[in-house]
Amino acid sequence: MCHVMKRILACSLAAALASGPPLALAETPTAPTTTRTAAPDTDKCPHSERPEKATTTSERLAPGQASPTPLPPVDSDEPCGTTLPEGFKVDKDVVAAAWMVSDIDTGEIVAMKDPNGRYRPASIIKALLALVVIDELDLHKKVEVSEESVQIDGSAVGIGPGGDYTVEQLLQGLLMASGNDAAHALAQEMGGDEATLRKVNEKAAEIGTNSTYAASYSGLDAPGMSTSAEDISRIYRAAFHNPTFARIVDTESVDFPGWGDFDGYQLGNDNGLFLNDPDGIGGKTGFTDDAHHTFVGALDRHGRRLQAVLLDTTVEHGPRAWEQAQKLLHEAYKVPPGSGVGNLLADATSPAATPEPDSQTQSVNSSLAGVQGWLGWVIAGAVVLLAMCVGAFSLLRR
């Protein structure tokens, strides 16, 4: 019965997104939070080791579970307060504890606040899961949904047992609607929760993060969960260079399958910046009671792609998370390229974009790999045979 209610809620959300103001429901918190009148003071690096203490039971340790050891503090010259280029003005309505605006292609950091402070990511961490899935699974593969996936906690896209879903459709549910049910279903295809969590953290390390530990692959709070504005900027820089990821988050709506007696419906993107800014190219929303609101959004203006990351922000004072990000991005576009305050990568190189294969290309590549392997053995055998013949000829000459 619970999964039926989730499906009804998912369909209601889709209808609300299609007919009403974007994000009217998607970012509504489940518990009241303190209204901020200004961004928290981070000049003295209050979160250099770990996020602020949880106010809920979300990170309560299980019996016998040891408290996770925090990651080593980042050895960096970057200050913990606000670092701005000349003339950059931060709107008073931007009340995030940490944020960063950076160039997706060059890696230039335009402006930032507490870049290495540790905060909870909420659902924006789903980008790591998406990148692992894209690396490992065929987008056209059919996925069988279990009752366990349907019953998973948190936000849901509304999948059901017996539904006919491909990996790509579950990725759409993961990134466009932040479905924890889709996250769980995808994780089972990659070997289960433990294996997927390991792969997600390996992906974070591969990208070059310093403060990120994914205690859950969906973004639900759990002991040890941690990231930073600089880490999330690195993660989404890599993600936006992935053609499959970039295409999905840059999609306004798709036809999503039904299951059982439920018909399919139009799944809408829940990212308000993408929906409301003409230059929007996607991103990700996030919220938990302890992470507060988190957000990633990107714009492409005349070929210059800038992204904004917000951690630990609130919306009770007025502007929503996407509107706060928009204020930062519009200000950042006033800053000429090369006039920023740092760089995400020392060499300032761009990640190489991987062409997006279709199923036919994947099949051809697999066949070629088999042929190449077979040819390798043939050539190796020929080399050995030639060596034996040469040896025998030498003995005969003697």
Helix 180-189 and helix 167-176: axis angle, to 10°?
140
* Other beta carbons less than 10 A from residue 191's beta carbon: 12
Burial class (CB in 10 A: 0-12, 13-18, 19+), 250: middle
d(CA 308, CA 298): 6
Active site residue 44: no
For the chain, the straight-line distance linking the first and the last C-alpha, in angstroms and rounded, comes to 88
H or E element in which residue 101 lies: strand 98-103
Q: How far is CA 118 from the centre of its chain?
A: 17
* Inter-residue contact 325 to 315 (CB < 8 Å): no
Active site residue 126: yes
Strand, coil or helix: 282: strand
Query: What DSSP character marks residue 262?
Result: B
Strand, coil or helix: 250: coil
d(CA 274, CA 264): 24
Given the residues 6, 113, 126, 284, the one annotated as active site: 126
d(CA 80, CA 48): 8
Given the residues 48, 155, 178, 228, the one annotated as active site: 178
Given the residues 48, 102, 123, 155, the one annotated as active site: 123
H or E element in which residue 386 lies: helix 359-397
Angle at 204 between CA 201 and CA 208, to 5 degrees: 140
d(CA 202, CA 195): 11
Active site residue 12: no
Nearest to 186 by CA among 146, 219, 225: 146
Nearest to 210 by CA among 97, 53, 73, 43: 73
Helices (runs of H) and strands (runs of E) counted in the chain:
11, 11
Locate 78 and state its tokens.
């970057």
Nearest to 308 by CA among 288, 290, 291, 325: 325
Any idea which residues carry the catalytic annotation?
123, 126, 178
